[in-house]
Structure formats: structure tokens, C-alpha cells
Amino acid sequence: MAPRSSWKGYLKVSLVAIPVKAYNATSESNSIQLNQLHEECHSRIRYQKTCPIHGEVSQDEIVSGYEYSKGQYVVVDPSEIQQLRPEGDKSIAIDKFIPAETLDRIYDSGRTYYLIPDGPVGQKPYALLRDAMVAENCQAIAQVVISNREQLVRLRPYDNLLTMTVLNHAAQVKLPTAFSDELVSTDSTEKEVELTRQLIQALSADSMEMSEYRDVYTEKLTKLIESKVSGQELVTSPVAAEPQVINLMDALKASVEQATRSQPAKAAKESKPARKMAQTPRKTAAAKKKPAEKKRKSS
């Protein structure tokens, strides 16, 4: 089934309007949702909306309110809220272009969309904007109305597409200075700094593939559920031992040695030609036959 777009409209750059549609960049299809059940009968738990004075209430009896003082509320009517919402403007209006690494990723909200040209008309201007942003090594800051709420977003090229990430406003992000009291001033020796740098260098890589990392929790949860459905008993994993607290210099030296030893083995493994790897099983099979042939000859 083809993915369904989350939003449709126009990407506006000054007087240029590019028809686009937005798709969620992440998927919840692989996540497992557990339901709450009554332990005795395994019936699903249901939540009812109740008032401590009048008991259960229907949806049309519920209003929204803000607690301005303990137990004191001001009621806000839905029509009043609707007047505050921006009109359903179907456009992503670019305000400015900034260098690619100017805005720190801490402002990203975690919601990212892929922007795709909507129809043949948008293909060329979309490609022109994307390629120009790559050439300029820049990103765009824009505003868009999503779910009746104006959002601040960043647009950037990614693997032949444009992505749109919703940003948190400055007031929503805690400043690092809020945690300054948690840090204690320390002095590091040159040797400690050098060993730490060596450790970083030993564990450094030129690139990273996200496919190298698996969602181990979901895999284990899936296995647990499948075993319960089939009536099998699942063997629990052993609890990992807590790391010992040892001398910092000793820990750094041991870590550097361990990381350095693992790098050549990893590099050799990655550099093996695929053809040789494919031939390995045949060689092993042939090697297994030879002892049997010798045994028959000797008998």
C-alpha cells in the first residue's frame, strides 16, 4: 500500500510557489502496543470520563478550562480557541536561508516530514531549489500551518529530497545554564586528555549506517509475545553486572588497548571480498570430505 501524505500545499520562496505534499519520515508500524487488562479475567480496561460530584459525563457535557489557582478554573469556549487558530493557509512560507550548521539540532522537535513534488508541474522548481540549497550548503527556516497550528520548521536537502522538521521555539528549550550547578570544576592532566583523545580516535569511523543498529527491545518483546501465543516458555536473559569503578587512568588505558585491538579485526572483516566469502562454505565442505576419503583408503 502506498504511503499516505500528511499534508498538501505549496512551498513558497518569494514569488515562486511549488506544489508539494508531506509524508511522515518515521513510522510506528514496527512498534508494539500493549493493552491494559484486568488481571482476573483478562478483559481490557476501559476509561470513563467522570466528575467527582456527578459521576460519569458525556462528551457534550465537557468543556476546556485553565487552572489559574488551586481549584480555580477559567473556562475557555471552543469558539474562542478557534478564533486564535490561524486560517488553513496551505503554504510553507520560507522566511530565510541560513548556513547548514547554524541552528543547533537541540531545537528539533523530533517530527520530520519528507517533502515531495505534487504533480509534474512541481518537479523542476523542486529540483532547482533542492540543488541550489546543496550548492549553497544551506537550510531554510519557514512557517507552516499543521493541524490548525502555526509551526516553525527547518527545510534541508537529504538524499535527493527536501525534509521538513518542526522546531521547538526558544521558550520551549531549556538553556544549558540551567544545569550549570550540576557540574563541578575539575582539572585534567595532559596525559588524561591525550588518552581520552586516543580512545576517541580508536573508536572513530568515517561513516555510519543506521542499519547496523537494531531495535533490540522490540525484537525481544516480539519473541516474548510469540512464545506466549505458542505456549512456549521463554528463557530470560541474564542480568548484566554493574561496571566496577576503577582508577580513571587505568580505565582509559584499558579502553584504548581494547578499542585498538578490535579495530584491525573489524577492518579486515569489512575488507574481505564478497566473492571469497561466498566460496568459504564450499571450501569447508570439501575439507570435510578429505578425512573421510583417507579413512576409506586406509581401511
* Amino acid letter, residue 79: S
Query: How far apart (Å, rounded) are the C-alpha atoms in residues 102 and 137?
Result: 11
pLDDT of residue 141: 97
pLDDT single digits (tens) 57-105 = 999 999 999 999 998 999 998 888 878 777 667 899 999 999 999 999 9
Task: Give the Cβ contact number of residue 92 at 10 Å.
Answer: 28
Query: Does the CA dihedral 59-61-64-66 come out positive or negative?
Result: negative
CATH topology for the 7-25+85-172 domain: Ku70; Chain: A; Domain 2 (2.40.290)
Residues 6+ apart with CB under 8 A from 43: 37
R_g of the chain, CA atoms, integer Å: 30
Q: Give Cα separations from 291 to 233, 288, 295, 299 (angstroms).
A: 41, 6, 6, 12
Q: Which of 256, 7, 263, 287 is nearest to 147 (CA)?
A: 7
pLDDT for res 133: 97
> In the prediction, which pLDDT does 291 show?
46
DSSP state of 197: H
Question: What is the rounded CA–CA span in Å between residue 16 and residue 125?
Answer: 8
Tell me, what's the pLDDT at 269?
52
Structural domain boundaries in the chain? 7-25+85-172, 191-199+249-270
The bridge status of strand 149-158 relative to strand 138-146 is antiparallel
Residue with cell 555510519: 208
Q: What is the pLDDT of residue 274?
A: 45
Would you give the end-to-end CA distance of the chain in angstroms? 64
Reduce the DSSP state of residue 40 to 3 states and report it. coil
Residues (pLDDT < 50) of the chain are: 274-299
Spatial separation of the C-alpha atoms in residues 162 and 11, rounded to whole Å: 11
- How far is 293 from 297, CA to CA, in rounded Å? 6
With CA atoms as reference, report the closest residue to 169 among 106, 83, 101: 106
